[in-house]
Amino acid sequence: MGDCQTKEQVTERLEAEEEQLKRDFELSLEALKECDQLTRVPHLLIEIRSLGFVEIQGKDTGGIYQKLDSWLKQHWRATEKTQDLILKCAEEQTCGCCGFAPEFAVGTLEPHHALCDKSYTLGEMSADGKVLSNHTYKNRGSEGENNMGKLTMQLAQFLTNECGWTLQVCDSGNLGWQGDTREQQMKFKAPHPLNLIAPLVMIELRQVGYIELNGQDKDGIYSKLGGFFQTAWQASEVEADPEYCDRKFQTSAFKSRGSEGENNMGQRTMELVDFMVKQCQWTMVTCNTGNFGRKGDQREQQLVFRNDEFVQHGVDHIMVELRTAGYVEINGMHDAQDLQPELMRFMVQQWRCKEYQKYTWEDTEKYCDLKYTAAEDLFTCEGLTNNLGKRTIELADFLAQHGWALLLCNGGSVTPEPNTEPNRIIREQQVKFTRTTPEKAKAPLLMIELRTVPYTDRPPSWHGYIEICGRDTNGVHGHLDRFITQYMQGNCISRAAGHCDLMYQTSKFRKKPSCFGDDRSCYMTGESNIGKWTMRLCDFMVDHLGEWDLIVCNSDNLNRSFTYGQGLDKKINSVTAREMQLVFRHKTGGRGVFMSSSNAAPLGRPPLQPPPYWQEPGCIDGTVGHKLVPGSPDELSWMQEVLDGTFKNKVTRDRKDGQPLADRFVAVQCVRSEHPGLWDRFAERRRLVAAACRGFGDFVEPKTMAAAPGLAQRCVHAAVGNPANQAYLLHGTNPTSAVAILQNSFTVDFAGKSAGTMFGPGVYLAESSTKADEYARDDAGGEYDGLYALLVCKAVLGRSYVTEKAGDFRDQVLSGECGHVLGDREKAVGTFREFIFFHEASIYPEYAVFYRREKDGKVMARPERELAPTMMEMEDVEA
């Protein structure tokens, strides 16, 4: 009775806690302001929750939040979240002798209550906090069928193919007593123009016997997959419900045995990866696991591939599974015959494992290529804390010495006896590696794990931990210590602990129930702020420190159970434990870039004489501001003709990246810009120049015209010819800036700032691919490292003012005497001719061409890069 509280006392305590929460929120915003001012490589985390919510974390770069807002409302009928579960004093006592206690109730969502940057509901929130009429997420049956994969691909296609963001990770999670509450986390990074034209496909392997496909059926990939499933796994196609997936197959190829979760999903996964990567030339983007059912033993494997066969990624992959049941399993060894002796030696000598000896009751079918029984102390588990992260980094460090880089990793868990031993949890870590360059393989890694560990269910309470594994590269441990202690109020409680290198405790991790009262068997299955702190740490590592790339980000959800009573009176309550694992790879420096937002206003009328090959009706009639169109096979062929036909084996002092000259530039893709506003002013300028040149026929023709006759024909009108002397010219840049220029064109005031202004402050274009390549760069830190860009611009030349000497010749053009300056350094010193323009309207940036540099038939290694620019520098997009 002494601990009982009156209603007034509980209310007063909650009000005090509310005020403290407000103060902490305001102080946190102020403290984090410095970090928020930098964005080198933007990241975005979006979570779809089957309970009826969509949550967004990350900085609003390039107006992406507004684009997402419009898309979610239009396609998923989402509404911005305005209500939330908040604590208040219960109206009645729990019982007659225990006094009053706080409870959750629905109230107005205040900024300091929000656990994410932006949230939406997929239906109406009821009085108990549940989302009703959620028609977006669907599930049915007892085998875990759902449409989360389809929803994921709908959103991924919007963000990649329409907004240009790079899908980096998809990660699924299961919560609740039966594991039937689903969450899908999607991480996107640094927009890149090639994402606009690279389709995605998701393949889900479900241990209950189904394979489901979602995404774009590019180049007949569905048919190819169907053939593979039938031949390799004896699968048969069954009718697919279009609300759940695009294609569906049934198979008995997925096996399991024993009580500790052994299965062959890893083996089947690597077979599929080999087919997609080696035979179909699709790139594996992400691979994650799910654990459905009360025990978590109904495995689900989700793989996403991207069709960018023109990028030379590694095609060899291996998977290592670490299982705290006492085993290490390896698949994909046919790709790594040269590695196998060293890997076996590592397992036996360094990790003291033994080759697995099967039990007499086991069948002869192999579920993996290599299997080891772990030493007793290889894996340690203390409650929910474990050393799988540390073992992952150890393994990655070893494989790096042999040219294999960590690609992906994800965790899962199985509870073999949930009713009798609910806290006996078998942890699993799938780690995927790919063969790569020594530079990339040997780059140091750092793993950061965020973890909540419940310690009671009355009321649900937990400790928050941050664990760090990996070398102290460039003092990163000290930098993280300052971030964690200053911004997360973390306290270092262990250095060089058995399961990690550094361990902090923090009270910053918050969780909420899924509804008023929650499911009494599983508490705190609702919103958390782990995702928010994940993005904060990512921003700090990538933007603030500026020398790390995020390569892995995966989550896991477990239950910490509390048992009461015996026999028939026995009751088990569980509290959700959330975990997040981030892995960063060190880099020596890089140009972090992002695509600017295309906010071109519609012209409001048809542009003047739009090209007959334009495809977008809205651009032709002026109702759409701008559209990027993937280049056709003919157009890509023309771009290669330009690269080859204007190549010149000559180097000037403007080539400053330290690389030798390539002997060929290979076009891998191009996009064409349909921009009514820019075209309209270009067409008007063309009309004026044509009138000024009437009767003049001695035009200079750039070498690009003879190099690609099919492209050159687009400068010639069937009836009047080419009276303004139109021609295609080139401008080297990086892929992201190339797309920004397609959207906004050139600005004379800033043109040429990266390489000087020999002939005056104008826009400098080249007729030689070699000259344009001198200014080309790749986008570091993205999925398309090693791809360079140049713009193929349609220009109105008119008459040429030709000079061999340096000087400011703008007046000769601005007076109307000539249409441009031709700086003829080819005649003067044997290098190149450059074409300089002083009217922005004289240039229509039409194509962005993405290419790689090759020498002796091999892709050239990338040069050293400067450190990434700040947010402010990035917003001044190179012209």
How far is Cα 260 from Cα 379, in angstroms, rounded to an integer? 15
Phi-psi category of residue 623: left, alpha or beta, with phi > 0 → left and psi -120 to 50 → alpha: alpha
Amino acid in position 91 = E
Distance CA 72, CA 164 (A): 17
Instruction: Give the SS3 label for residue 616.
Output: coil
- pLDDT at res. 73: 96
User: In terms of DSSP H, where are the helices of 540-675?
Assistant: 617-620, 633-645
Q: Which of 446, 415, 449 is nearest to 556 (CA)?
A: 449
CB-side neighbour CA atoms (13 Å) of 735: 30
The DSSP line for 170-194 is: EEEEEESTTS-EEEEEEEEES--GG
The DSSP code for 508 is -
Contact 406, 433 (CB under 8 A): yes
The Cα–Cα gap between 403 and 311 comes to 19
Q: Which residues of the chain have pLDDT under 70?
A: 1-3, 39-40, 94-98, 309-314, 516-522, 588-599, 657-658, 749-756, 780-783, 863-879
Provide the pairing of β-strand 426-435 with 102-108: unpaired
- Residue 63: predicted pLDDT: 84
- How far apart (Å, rounded) are the C-alpha atoms in residues 700 and 693? 13
| 3-state SS class at 496 | coil
Kindly state the DSSP code that residue 841 receives in the 8-state scheme.
G
How far is the C-alpha of 258 from the C-alpha of 6, rounded, in Å?
Answer: 54
Tell me the one-letter amino acid at 112: H
The pTM (predicted TM-score) of the whole model is 0.86
- Return d(Cα 151, Cα 121) in angstroms, integer: 15
- Per-residue confidence (pLDDT) for residue 785, from 0 to 100: 74
Rounded Cα gap, residues 164 and 782, in angstroms:
12
Burial label for 718, CB within 10 Å (0-12, 13-18, 19+), is: exposed
* Rounded-to-integer distance, Cα 80 and Cα 59, Å: 18
Judged by DSSP in three states, 304 sits in strand
Provide CB contacts within 8 A for 70, sequence distance 6+.
none
User: Please, how many CA atoms are within 13 Å of residue 249, restricted to the half-sphere of its CB?
Assistant: 24
| CA-wise closest residue to 207 among 278, 302, 115 | 302
Which amino acid makes up residue 120? Y
Of 624, 601, 603, 600, residue with least CA distance to 614: 624
Sequential DSSP letters for 432-473: EEEE--HHHHTS-EEEEEEEEEEEEETTEEEEEEEEEEE--G
Question: How confident is the model at residue 873, as a pLDDT?
Answer: 32
Q: What is the pLDDT of residue 875?
A: 32
What pLDDT was estimated at residue 877? 35
Diameter of the chain measured on Cα atoms: 106
Query: 725 with 685: CB under 8 angstroms?
Result: no
Complete DSSP assignment for 669-686? EEEEEE-HHHHHHHHHHH
All structural domains of the chain, each given as residue ranges with its CATH number in brackets, are 316-442 (no CATH), 617-875 (3.90.228.10)
**CA–CA distance from 274 to each of 282, 398, 667, 760 (Å)?**
10, 23, 26, 55
pLDDT of residue 598: 59
- Residue 567 C-beta-side C-alpha neighbours within 13 Å: 1
Q: Which residue has the tokens 């294609």?
A: 247
Residues 6+ apart with CB under 8 A from 537: 448, 450, 483, 582
Burial classification of residue 676, based on how many CB atoms lie within 10 Å of its CB (0-12 exposed, 13-18 middle, 19 or more buried): buried
